[in-house]
Amino acid sequence: MSKTQIKKNDTVLVIAGRSKGKRGRVLRVDRKHGKVLVEGCSMVKKHVRPNPQKQVKGGIAERESAMDLSNVKLVTES
């Protein structure tokens, strides 16, 4: 477990990786594994099977992927 100042709904700046330079809102923090999920950053494509019972259309969906905590920096709004 790592200590961090980053919490859910904070605004962060991505400082490393393929989404470098983007700002986004934190959706989820996993302190046990040292990962963070940032809105609109580190997008991956996931193949989804159609499920009529849950009203899920099939196809390729884009969603956020978790990134390491060391790759983001907390942005203070002042």
Per the structure block, which two tokens stand in for 47? 């193949």
Given a cut of 50, the residues of the chain with pLDDT beneath it are none
pTM: 0.81
CA distances from 52 to 5, 10, 58, 61 (A): 42, 36, 9, 16
* pLDDT value at residue 2: 65
Q: What's the token pair of residue 57?
A: 């259309």
Give me the pLDDT at residue 21, please: 95
For residues 27 and 65, is the Cβ–Cβ distance under 8 A?
A: no
